[in-house]
Structure 1
Amino acid sequence: MKIMSIALGACALMLAAPAVAGDQDFTLFNKTGYDIAEVYVSPAKSKNWGDDVMEDEVLEDAHSVPITFKAKNAICNYDLKVIFTDGDEAYWTNFDLCTISKIQIFWNQKTQKATAKWE
């Protein structure tokens, strides 16, 4: 009985534990009307975007791609920046990637406004 209590306690601790590396991965849906050459994900309000998480891939308009990156710690809130194939940039802020698994991004060239939907 004591062994079962320890096992149940360990399971409860695992469920209550903060996010670990990999929990912040998500699927990105490009609904911008433009092809995307680069995608950057960084902790919210960080001044360093780090490396392009898509490397040499291009995310075409109306397509999606799984975004996997090595989170440095259990931070959940991240910003997202894309660079379109024409060199223009757009960014979105403060996604809780510990609870979000899908992000759809939109870009209005006329108003220069970036919006998103997520689940």
Structure 2
Amino acid sequence: MKPIATILGVSALFLAAPAIAGDQDFTLFNKTGYDIAEVYVSPADAKAWGDDVMEDEVLEDTASVPITFNAKNDICNYDLKVIFTDGDEAYWTNFDLCTISKIQIFWNAKTQKATAKWE
């Protein structure tokens, strides 16, 4: 079983051209081994997570979902938080969504670590 509030800071800062509003969209791939009940994406400097972008949907293990922003801003650095169907959660920080189009999240039960790959 996963420990509650597993935290892994992911530094995903890249040099990029100036962002165009709406360039923060990406596809999230769940490779954790667990189903995800909630997904939150917020600017890195935000004090609150905001709304669950999955609404009432569940992101099953091995599935993916497009995450689309309606924001008309040029914010690039975002944090990602997921809550699994068993209530445990994990989060990652500082994804540069102006340069990233795919994020794969992983859970290693042996080491009890959450990690991510992106492109």
Give the alignment's TM-score, normalised by structure 1.
0.79
How far did residue 17 of structure 1 move? 5.3
Runs of 4+ in structure 1 over 4 Å off: none
State how many pairs are aligned: 103
Which residue does 1:11 correspond to in 2?
Answer: none
Query: Where does residue 69 of structure 2 map in the other structure?
Result: 69
Equivalent position of 1:19 in the other structure: 20
Q: Which runs of 5+ in 1 are unaligned?
A: 1-15
Change (3 A) 1:116 1:101: same
Q: 1:109 to 1:71 in 2, by over 3 A?
A: farther
Task: Quickly say closer, same or farther: Cα 1:55–1:76, change in 2 above 3 A.
Answer: same
Is residue 32 from structure 1 mapped to residue 32 from structure 2 by the alignment?
yes
Q: Which runs of 5+ in 2 are unaligned?
A: 1-16
- Larger helix share, 1 or 2: 1
TM-score, structure 2 length as denominator? 0.79
Q: What is the RMSD computed on CA atoms of the aligned residues?
A: 1.6
> Structure 1 residues 112, 19: closer, same or farther in 2, change over 3 A?
farther
Q: Which has the higher contact order (CA 8 A, sep 6+)?
A: 2
1:1-119 matched pairs, under 5 angstroms? 18-20=19-21, 22-71=22-71, 73-119=73-119
Q: CA deviation at 1:114?
A: 1.4
Is residue 28–residue 103 contact of structure 1 (8 Å, CA) maintained in 2?
yes
Q: Percent identity?
A: 88
